[in-house]
Structure 1
Amino acid sequence: MAVKVAVLASGGGSNFENLVDHSDEIGIAVQVLITDHSDAYAVKRAEKFGIPAHAFERRKFDSKMAHEQAILEILYEYEVEYVLLAGYMRILSRNFIHAFEHHIINLHPSLLPSFKGRNGIEDAFNYGVKVTGVTIHFVDAGIDTGEIIAQEPIIIGENDTLEMLETKIHRLEYELYPKALKKVIEGVE
């Protein structure tokens, strides 16, 4: 039986779509998309798949706690077992993380622990490293510090531009995230 998941995304949702496309082979059923931007293109992708999408814009809530509580209520309503972050650009509170302890998984575009935070690709490129990559990890209370599930490197070519590196990273994300999730899900059953 497929494991019920929610995907949290802030932008275009290409990783969300990739997870939906690979959901059968991963062993998941994407129940709902949560976004923090009502105009996120990820919402259009969810509509295409007939997956409910809910937008919770932070500015519409009195506090971070109220914002996250509204999201948690939706997650409970859909009875999700895992929360998958796919370009979700908000830092989750300890309380939120505690509600899904060891069941929140993030995709990060660098080889952690290097280049944590929101600009991993650009930071690695600007620093001048020759190798970067993609990391899939459990979310803990730190920023990109949770237990690593999977990592894969990418060589930054001498003539690579930032845009070329971004393309390489995204291709690897589409390949690695489903594989890593399958590994986690199969460990559950």
Structure 2
Amino acid sequence: MMKLAVFASGTGSNFDAIVHAIQNGELDAEVTMLVCDRVGAPVIEKAQNYEIDTIVFSANVYESKAQYEEALLKDCRERGIDYIILAGFMRLIGPTLLEPYRNRILNIHPSLLPAFPGKDAIGQAFDQQVKITGVTVHFVDEGMDTGPIIEQEAVRIEDGDTKDDVVRKIQAIEHKLYPSVIRTLKIKEESI
């Protein structure tokens, strides 16, 4: 069974979607741990309710990014983590984690990359008055939302849509697309 570590910083709606897909038998995997960099983030309580090991850290207590990534890498190795799944994790991954998990760290982003990378992609799309935006799942590399694209799905912004409407449309796609992409990785691994 594929072992996942989910890294999140916020509410955890994609974390929830992944766990639900596992519980419903749609995804043959196990979320072995949640890593969160924000004390008090709602995703922590969700993980505790699912009885999933949770690691909460504050980056500013470490001397460097490499130091906290080394601690996280140790935790991942001890638990036999196959993939790191970023789900609203608001930190760039550095080489300490990236190198041992190259092509095994995934991110989901609320735009059709390369359009609107970085923070508030939905707001960027809304401000630019685009009619089509979407969701991208990609492998993580050294850049911000620059890694190889695995899957994308478009979302139409209709006349009269508010930003909240677009957020709801994006999240509905994310919650189906992310578990689907993870399932595809499992299938590819089994065929090797």
Instruction: Give TM class, smaller chain.
Output: over 0.9
5+ residue gaps, structure 2, are: none
Partner of 2:101: 100
Aligned to 2:10: 11
Which residues of 2 match residues 141-180 of structure 1 at below 5 A?
141-180=142-181
> For the residues of structure 2 that align with 1:149 and 1:160, how far apart are their CA atoms?
28
After the TM superposition, which residues 54-65 of structure 1 pair with which residues of structure 2 at under 5 Å, given as runs? 54-65=55-66
Shift of 1:18: 0.9
Query: Could you say what the CA RMSD is over the residues aligned between the two structures, in angstroms?
Result: 0.9
Q: Does 1:72 align with 2:70?
A: no
Partner of 2:127: 126
Indicate if the aligned counterparts of 1:130 and 1:157 stay in contact, CA closer than 8 A: yes
Q: Which runs of 5+ in 1 are unaligned?
A: none
2:108 and 2:123 map into 1 onto residues whose CA distance is 16
Question: Structure 1 stretches (4+) deviating beyond 6 angstroms?
Answer: none
For residues 27 and 103 of structure 2, the distance between their equivalents in structure 1, rounded to whole angstroms, comes to 18
What amino acid is the match of 2:138?
Answer: H
Deviation, structure 1 residue 95: 2.8
Query: Distance between the aligned counterparts of 1:89 and 1:97, measured in 2?
Result: 15
Q: 1:89 is matched with which residue?
A: 90
Q: CA deviation at 1:148?
A: 1.0
- SS of the aligned residue for 1:31 comes to strand
| TM-score, structure 1 normalization | 0.97
What's the CA shift for 1:63? 1.1
State the TM-score, normalized to the length of structure 2.
0.95
Offset of residue 141 of structure 1 = 1.2
Q: Is the 8 A contact 1:8 1:83 kept in 2?
A: yes
Q: Which amino acid aligns with 2:10?
A: G
- The answer to whether the 8 A contact 1:56-1:71 is kept is no
Q: Which amino acid aligns with 1:109?
A: P
Number of residue-to-residue matches in the alignment: 188
Q: Which amino acid aligns with 1:112?
A: L
Q: Structure 2: how far apart are the matches of 1:70 and 1:94? A: 13
Quote the Cα distance in structure 1 between the aligned partners of 2:132 and 2:39. Answer: 36
Q: Give the residue type in structure 2 aligned to 1:183.
A: T
8 Å contact from structure 2 (residues 70, 96) kept in 1: no
Separation in 2, partners of 1:178, 1:127: 30
Q: Structure 2: how far apart are the matches of 1:95 and 1:52?
A: 22
Tell me if 1:114 matches 2:115: yes
Whether the 8 Å contact between 1:82 and 1:104 is mirrored in structure 2 is yes
Q: CA deviation at 1:25?
A: 1.7
Match of 1:27? 28
